[in-house]
Amino acid sequence: MYSTTMPDSRESRQLRFAQSSGALSTSEIRDLMSLATAPDIISFAGGMPGNELFPLDEMDRIYNNLTQTEKQTALQYGPTSGLPSLLESLAGYLEAKGLPVKTNRLMITTGSLQAIHILARAFIDPGDRVLVENPSFIGALSAFRACQAELQAIPLRGDGMDMKLLAEKLSDEEPLPKFLYYAPNFHNPAGIIYSMEVKRQMIALLQGRNIPVIEDDVYSDIWFHEEDLPGMQNLKAINPEGIDICFTGSFSKIVGPGLRLGWMLVPEPIYRKCELIKQSIDACSPSFSQVIADKFIRSGEIYRYTARVREEYKRRGLAMITALETDLPDYVTFERPRGGFYTWLQLPEGSDATLILKKAIEKGVVFVTGKTFDPAGRQNDHMRVSFCNTDVESIRRGIPLIAQAIREVIEK
Amino acid sequence: MYSTTMPDSRESRQLRFAQSSGALSTSEIRDLMSLATAPDIISFAGGMPGNELFPLDEMDRIYNNLTQTEKQTALQYGPTSGLPSLLESLAGYLEAKGLPVKTNRLMITTGSLQAIHILARAFIDPGDRVLVENPSFIGALSAFRACQAELQAIPLRGDGMDMKLLAEKLSDEEPLPKFLYYAPNFHNPAGIIYSMEVKRQMIALLQGRNIPVIEDDVYSDIWFHEEDLPGMQNLKAINPEGIDICFTGSFSKIVGPGLRLGWMLVPEPIYRKCELIKQSIDACSPSFSQVIADKFIRSGEIYRYTARVREEYKRRGLAMITALETDLPDYVTFERPRGGFYTWLQLPEGSDATLILKKAIEKGVVFVTGKTFDPAGRQNDHMRVSFCNTDVESIRRGIPLIAQAIREVIEK
């Protein structure tokens, strides 16, 4: 049998190391995914929208009204930055949210993860420091690890990053971090909203230091309480002088992740670098998806659809809060989600969520362990319990089983 | 006005440098693209299929026969490696071409460019040497530059890479190149087919040296002469002992590039690295496109459609050959294309194709200059004249204008 030492880049070694050192392995993710879709399992593990919530009728209507020319566009290459028609309609959509579209450049990406990946490539050399939250979105951590960044984690509190620790990190000796990555609204996995006060402090700390911010805001349309909206203003919308803010977003939560469409809204000089990098990755994002997404915005379906799913996610989120309040032991605490897809349970310090997961699987429920979201891949005394892909009835049946699994491990 | 020195990775500097040192700049490409689609311009510049050739009726039929469950799958995340149903149907499609599907792993990528990009990430560290052809596919060059590879170019002849020069490169001192990248059939831009003899010599030179091959074969379905098929056998199908062959392909020429779907067929250890890297780039390829592509294969439409467009590309290719033979001055030589999208005109040594392009644009025709495809971004005494997106009538009107532009520059 032929065998060889495979040539292997530092990048691929780094990704394998990161995987082995804490986050879930590919096979574990695959196992969890198959559990998550097994018919007899109640899954609180996924971060995907519920299949039954997708806008199939709207999509049929859109497809069947496409002209021949639009269908040709859907099958053809498009510009690296995105189809002009979608760039225009999306700009309108974002401008209505108060984002400074006219003084920045918009680029369509293959999911918002690709936007984050490209920004990482534009800024990071191997060994560079970048600031991230703990816990943080695993896709972004993976993109930063692929660039061989040194991840410097700032713990999250109920209202955002710990500002005292951010100030300390920034007063460390040189070299300064290449950027700060954060997710302002309905955080994955922590479920929190950043307060305006914390955002004001972030601005004060970053201003004039030449540290860009990647602001990853993919859940903000899934709010439960309209009164939260003013406080959810993006740093990009505040548009503070002296900070380059790279705003990223996605169609995944407001149409469907299968389109694989996201975007970045960034200052022109950063845009120019990112366009070259995207050319080297996939040349352009799927035109087919872009034609559909454009129609979704222009027809106004995006507003009607988002309003509809927002109500359903709210029902699920509130059912989740009620179930957790009823069933969880007192030593498990959590922030009540006010939107998004996730609750983040804090176990007694030093608990091992992996043991609880094993018990939970025996009982027919799954969730994701805390260490998956720790930039260092270690801290495991949290659990991400999502409600995006689980109906109210299943939430009511499943959360008591989660609570039992916790009790059996912690109180044993 | 706020101004700053933008943090900037070596990768993004390298891409900007590569761009400024020869290949077309983004704005030049944009200008060419808009010229290429201007109604009064005859374009021989593009590498995209003709809009009028896309399988719109087949796509309508496929869309309208999708079940609700299939539409949900189309809007949902899928596995990083691709939708299971497409992996299965594509495996059958590739197996029928003699490729060793069972002893390798298949991954769906966001275009074949992404497959090449991921392989580059898996193998290359900054400064590593990689072997490429001169001329070569610009997308691959861009992916290798993004990894900061040192490109070592082997000139192409009418039957493939110059084997004498490949042997010399391989007998150079260490370090050995990380891989050899090549395109066996209907080369972009050179239009040639590798002969079996050259492929046999490649095997003999590479065997036992632990240098993987990236075999990029996206045009092989667009053959004009059935008798060429036996000689077009892929290295991957020959499957020589002791060489890791990473085979990449695409739906772009056989359905439509707007789907943004390609694939890699690679040995298992390489696959495992590539899956992690893809997770950090875009998590998965567009499900919507994958559902459509899967139906395209399973319904057999892919065979009927490919047979149809092959005839049309053949008509265009033969019209191109006739026009070039009639109109070109004797000092311009070219290989008669036997398939694919391109002819590659050799001008007298030292000619500057950019001057010819300027004249051509004045006359209402465009093509792409040779230096675009030179790994060093310098050699400019060639022109790529494509026939994929130009009907026979326009070819007959346009080629005399190309010939005039050449004469006016070379004979001035």
Note the ipTM here. Answer: 0.94
Query: Is the pLDDT confidence value at B2 over 50?
Result: no
CB contact under 8 A, B143 and A281: yes
CB contact under 8 A, A78 and B258: yes
CA distance A132 to A141: 8
Mean of pLDDT values over A38-61: 91
CB contact under 8 A, B287 and A73: no
Question: Which chain B residue shows the shortest CA-CA distance from A4?
Answer: B210
Task: Give the distance from residue B149's alpha carbon to the nearest chain A alpha carbon, in angstroms.
Answer: 11
Task: Give the distance from residue A96's alpha carbon to the nearest chain B alpha carbon, in angstroms.
Answer: 25
pLDDT in tens, B183-193: 999 999 999 99
CB contact under 8 A, A260 and B285: yes
CB contact under 8 A, B76 and A258: yes
Identify the CA nearest to B341 among candidates B272, B260, B252.
B252
Higher pLDDT, B330 or B6: B330
Task: Report which DSSP code applies to A125.
Answer: P
Confidence grade of residue A385 (pLDDT, cut at 50, 70, 90)? very high
Task: Please give the helix or strand (H or E) that residue A106 lies within, else none.
Answer: strand A105-109
Question: Which chain B residue shows the shortest CA-CA distance from A291?
Answer: B258
Identify all chain A residues contacting B119, using CB atoms and an 8 Å cutoff: none
Query: Is the pLDDT confidence value at B33 over 70?
Result: no
Higher pLDDT, B371 or B2: B371
Mean of pLDDT values over A196-208: 96
Query: Mean pLDDT across chain B, nearest whole number?
Result: 93
User: Sheet containing B382-386: which strands, arranged edge to edge?
Assistant: B333-334, B342-346, B382-386, B368-369
Confidence grade of residue A172 (pLDDT, cut at 50, 70, 90)? confident
Identify all chain A residues contacting B78, using CB atoms and an 8 Å cutoff: 258
Confidence grade of residue B342 (pLDDT, cut at 50, 70, 90)? very high
Joined together, the tokens standing for residue A360 give 């939970």
Query: Is the pLDDT confidence value at A158 over 90?
Result: yes
Tell me how far apart the terminal alpha carbons of chain B are, to the nearest angstrom.
Answer: 50
> What pLDDT shows up at residue A34?
61
Interface residue of A12, A125, A270 to substitute, partner B, most B CBs within 10 Å: A12
Query: Is the pLDDT confidence value at A204 over 50?
Result: yes
CB contact under 8 A, A277 and B146: yes
Identify all chain B residues contacting A286, using CB atoms and an 8 Å cutoff: 110, 258-260, 286, 288-289
Q: What angle do CA B280, A156, A388 make, to 5 degrees?
A: 60
Burial (CB count within 10 angstroms: exposed 0-12, middle 13-18, buried 19+), residue B274: buried
Query: Is the pLDDT confidence value at A271 over 80?
Result: yes
> What pLDDT shows up at residue A412?
83
> What pLDDT shows up at residue B296?
97
> What pLDDT shows up at residue B30?
57
CB contact under 8 A, B210 and A5: yes
pLDDT in tens, B46-75: 899 999 999 999 999 999 999 999 999 999
> What pLDDT shows up at residue B36?
58
CB contact under 8 A, A146 and B121: yes
Mean of pLDDT values over A85-100: 98
> What pLDDT shows up at residue B289?
98
Task: Give the distance from residue A109's alpha carbon to the nearest chain B alpha carbon, in angstroms.
Answer: 9
| Alpha helix ranges (H) inside A21-55 | 26-37
Out of A71, A272, A273, closest to residue B56 by CB = A71
Confidence grade of residue B396 (pLDDT, cut at 50, 70, 90)? very high
Task: Give the distance from residue A221's alpha carbon to the nearest chain B alpha carbon, in angstroms.
Answer: 18
> What pLDDT shows up at residue B20?
63
Task: Give the distance from residue B156's alpha carbon to the nearest chain A alpha carbon, in angstroms.
Answer: 23
> What pLDDT shows up at residue B22?
47
Identify all chain A residues contacting B258, using CB atoms and an 8 Å cutoff: 73-78, 286-288
Mean of pLDDT values over A198-216: 96
Confidence grade of residue A6 (pLDDT, cut at 50, 70, 90)? low
Confidence grade of residue B235 (pLDDT, cut at 50, 70, 90)? very high
CB contact under 8 A, B63 and A63: yes
Identify all chain A residues contacting B15, using CB atoms and an 8 Å cutoff: 273, 276-277, 280
> What pLDDT shows up at residue A26?
52
Mean of pLDDT values over A333-337: 96
CB contact under 8 A, B178 and A242: no
Query: Mean pLDDT across chain A, nearest whole number?
Result: 93
Mean of pLDDT values over B72-99: 97
Mean of pLDDT values over B81-110: 98
Identify all chain B residues contacting A71, using CB atoms and an 8 Å cutoff: 54, 56, 59-60
Joined together, the tokens standing for residue B393 give 């009538």
- On whether the CB atoms of residues B368 and B293 are closer than 8 A, the answer is no
Query: Is the pLDDT confidence value at A305 over 80?
Result: yes
CB contact under 8 A, A277 and B54: no
Interface residue of B144, B213, B281, B309 to substitute, partner A, most A CBs within 10 Å: B281
> What pLDDT shows up at residue A102?
97
pLDDT in tens, A117-156: 999 999 999 999 999 999 999 999 999 999 999 999 999 9
> What pLDDT shows up at residue B27?
54
CB contact under 8 A, B11 and A179: no
Identify all chain B residues contacting A79, using CB atoms and an 8 Å cutoff: 30, 33
pLDDT in tens, A339-352: 999 999 999 999 99
Mean of pLDDT values over B357-381: 96
Interface residue of A75, A179, A301 to substitute, partner B, most B CBs within 10 Å: A75
Map residue A180 onto helix, strand or coil: strand
Identify all chain A residues contacting B145, using CB atoms and an 8 Å cutoff: 280
> What pLDDT shows up at residue B120?
98
Task: Give the distance from residue A46's alpha carbon to the nearest chain B alpha carbon, in angstroms.
Answer: 10
CB contact under 8 A, A49 and B282: no
CB contact under 8 A, B54 and A71: yes
Task: Report which DSSP code applies to B341.
Answer: S
Identify all chain A residues contacting B48, using CB atoms and an 8 Å cutoff: 76-77
pLDDT in tens, B126-172: 999 999 999 999 999 999 999 999 999 999 999 999 999 999 999 87
> What pLDDT shows up at residue B23?
45
Interface residue of A15, A260, A284 to substitute, partner B, most B CBs within 10 Å: A260
Lowest mean pLDDT among A15-19, A119-123, A369-373, B95-99: A15-19
Question: Which chain B residue shows the shortest CA-CA distance from A289?
Answer: B288
pLDDT in tens, B210-225: 999 999 999 999 999 9
**Beta-carbon pairs below 8 A across chains A and B:** 259
CB contact under 8 A, A113 and B283: yes
Query: Is the pLDDT confidence value at A333 over 90?
Result: yes
Identify all chain A residues contacting B143, using CB atoms and an 8 Å cutoff: 280-281
Identify all chain A residues contacting B269, using CB atoms and an 8 Å cutoff: 6
Lowest mean pLDDT among A218-232, B1-15, B309-323: B1-15
